[in-house]
Structure 1
Amino acid sequence: MPTTPRTVSDVIRARYDALTRAEKRLAESLLENYPVSGLGSITAVAESAGVSTPTVARMVQKLGYKGYPEFQANLRSELEETLSNPIAKHDRWTASAPNAHVLNRFADAIMANMRQTLSDLDPQSFDEVAALLSDRKRSVHFVGGRITGALAEYFFTHMQVIRPNTMLMSSGARTWPQYVLNMNAGDLLVVFDIRRYETEMIKLAEMTKSRGGTIILFTDQWNSPVAKFAHHIFRIQIEAPSAWDSSVVTLFVVEALIEAVQSTTWDETRERMKTLEGLFQQTRLFRKPNE
């Protein structure tokens, strides 16, 4: 199965080193407020970047597009994808759905998502995030949106066992200033934000960065606006033949990070687990085999 097409931002980043100085300035301008920054006229885009219109025309062709109209068409298509609501997604998938059983269609989509995500994921960045999460001197805050809040809670529940100073932030933005108030420089904020990006997340990221916090973002292939404040970004393929986006690959990356942190700090984690098991026995939370 072919991999998911790359976004325009992927193409820009992949070919950035081959661009001229003026083209690099244009590329940086386009990525600054992506994808909206590329939706104006060629003259407006050139003026915004401080380059000439021929520079814009040359760069889009160097990126592999036939011309500026095709370049913009790709940007508009991406913008439509990020704004897709569940009904629109369902209708789009249904119109092109193959006759294969839904299990096969889902399996094919998820495996394609996994392959593309892993091909784009930088192992060094993954290791750096695992090291940050293992650092007991840093507190870790987790937050997600209406759907991704479940992923944030799942991550938090495991990390709470592995290490101290972990907090799950509520989905209500009214409580966020109190959490930010107690963040110190270097503390971590783990954000889950996928398309139909939640407007309040970017304000939380901005406040956290202003306090010296380090932001780890889990997002989709189109990139949440939170990315402009994030220090580490996991861009994960989420498309599925459904009205809903898939969380399978996101959960895979989360569980891999949990294992990486757990292995790095196993001696301390094991002692915490022993203590926790004793507490479970006191509360009789779990049923014993002979009961």
Structure 2
Amino acid sequence: MDQQENVPESFADLISRHSARLTDADARLLDVLIQDPIRGAMENGKDVSFRAGVHPASAVRLARRLGFKGYPEFRSFLQANLLEGGGDFESSAARMVARLVKAEEGGLLGSVVDGEIAALNAVRKTVSDADIRSFSERLRDGRRILLFGRGHASALSALVTLRLVRSGYDAINVAGQVDQLPELLWSLSKEDVLWLFCFRRVAPLIQEVRRIAAERKATTLVLTDLHAARIDPAPDRHIAVSRGEPGQSQSLVVPMTIANAVILDLAAIDDGRSIRALRELRSFRAETRLKID
């Protein structure tokens, strides 16, 4: 089958085009595939036939009736639709299956590494040193820094908070103190900095935190991926960057790299504050008997 010219844009179009030729067994197979398209894109024809309760060869006959040479080619079509399906990637299960599909040819570890490298290389074209400096200057000048992220972003906010504290800054990981959120936000002032981390979507709680920060005139910095790029009201400084294409790992490597660059640049412009704090912390650790495993 000529994939460029003859394959319809969607699975629904494909079924509609050949509906007059489909048998009862075909209908049972299609029902199984439609009910769970993620699983269907990963299984072979024999497995799909078994779940549909039809003869093992039925999946092959269905594929040929739909215009494919055999079931492997039909399965490749299903996988391509999954990878290009857009909305399906709001499902974490669909994103994982898409990564497994991409990993089949080059190996799992290799596909993850390749995806991370591609995403990091894209950062060079979308984030500039001036963007990094716009964050680090405001962190340097803030009285206090509050960091907040939900879901996977909470792990990043915790790590960045730790690095800022070690660099001598009064930083608080709000994600670890949600029960004190009203008190922390109530104490915000125009001298403070709020750093938000958002991936895939902006949670209503993040939007409300941003709204309160705007009312209290605190400087707001936001680091998001492209899916969560819309923040209202608009933050004072915003870096939005892709964490990878559909089927790639969508990990924290890209935003963590940006955060690392911000902290490194901060050390370059804060008149030795970060360096002194790191030295003092090292001495403090050596002098005390605090042994934490």
**Where on the TM-score scale, by shorter chain, does this alignment land: which range?**
0.5 to 0.7
For 1:133 and 1:150, locate their aligned partners in 2 and report how far apart those are by CA, in whole Å. 20
Asked if residue 93 in structure 1 is aligned to residue 99 in structure 2, the reply is yes
Partner of 1:245, secondary structure, is coil
- TM norm structure 1: 0.64
Partner of 1:229, secondary structure, is coil
Q: After superposition, what is the alpha-carbon deviation per residue over 1:198-224, rounded to whole angstroms, capped at 9, x for unaligned? A: 221111011111110111111112234
For 2:121 and 2:281, locate their aligned partners in 1 and report how far apart those are by CA, in whole Å. 37
**Which shows bigger deviation, 95-104 or 178-187?**
95-104
Partner of 2:210: 205
Match of 1:246 among 232, 237, 251: 251
Partner of 1:214: 219
**Amino acid in the other structure paired with 1:153:** A
Partner of 1:120: 126
Partner of 1:230, secondary structure, is coil
Partner of 1:268: 273
Contact between 1:221 and 1:236, CA under 8 Å: does it hold in 2? yes
For 2:283 and 2:224, locate their aligned partners in 1 and report how far apart those are by CA, in whole Å. 37
Pairwise mapping of residues 42-61 of structure 1 onto structure 2 (< 5 A)? none
- TM norm structure 2: 0.63
Asked if residue 140 in structure 1 is aligned to residue 168 in structure 2, the reply is no
Partner of 2:195: 190
Alpha-carbon shift at residue 253 of structure 1 (Å):
0.7
Match of 1:229 among 212, 229, 234: 234
Aligned residues: 209
Match of 2:117 among 103, 108, 111: 111
Q: Which runs of 5+ in 1 are unaligned?
A: 1-76
Partner of 2:49: none
Contact between 1:159 and 1:258, CA under 8 Å: does it hold in 2? yes
For 2:181 and 2:222, locate their aligned partners in 1 and report how far apart those are by CA, in whole Å. 17
Match of 1:102 among 103, 108, 116: 108
For 1:270 and 1:230, locate their aligned partners in 2 and report how far apart those are by CA, in whole Å. 29
Contact between 2:243 and 2:250, CA under 8 Å: does it hold in 1? yes
For 1:235 and 1:213, locate their aligned partners in 2 and report how far apart those are by CA, in whole Å. 20
**Amino acid in the other structure paired with 1:116:** A
Partner of 1:14: none
Partner of 2:136: 130
Q: Which runs of 5+ in 2 are unaligned?
A: 1-84
Partner of 1:88, secondary structure, is helix
For 1:175 and 1:275, locate their aligned partners in 2 and report how far apart those are by CA, in whole Å. 30
**Aligned CA distance change for structure 1 residues 278 and 86 (closer, same or farther; 3 Å):** same
**Amino acid in the other structure paired with 1:107:** V
Q: After superposition, what is the alpha-carbon deviation per residue over 1:5-30, rounded to whole angstroms, capped at 9, x for unaligned? A: xxxxxxxxxxxxxxxxxxxxxxxxxx
**Amino acid in the other structure paired with 2:96:** H
Contact between 2:224 and 2:239, CA under 8 Å: does it hold in 1? yes
**Aligned CA distance change for structure 1 residues 282 and 96 (closer, same or farther; 3 Å):** closer
For 1:90 and 1:191, locate their aligned partners in 2 and report how far apart those are by CA, in whole Å. 26
Q: After superposition, what is the alpha-carbon deviation per residue over 1:148-198, rounded to whole angstroms, capped at 9, x for unaligned? A: 111111111111122332211135655322111111114211111101432
Contact between 1:138 and 1:186, CA under 8 Å: does it hold in 2? yes
Partner of 2:31: none
Identical residues among aligned pairs (%): 15
Which structure's CA Rg is the greater one?
2
**Amino acid in the other structure paired with 1:251:** M
**Amino acid in the other structure paired with 1:133:** L
Contact between 1:206 and 1:229, CA under 8 Å: does it hold in 2? no
For 2:211 and 2:205, locate their aligned partners in 1 and report how far apart those are by CA, in whole Å. 10
For 2:214 and 2:272, locate their aligned partners in 1 and report how far apart those are by CA, in whole Å. 32
For 1:122 and 1:263, locate their aligned partners in 2 and report how far apart those are by CA, in whole Å. 16
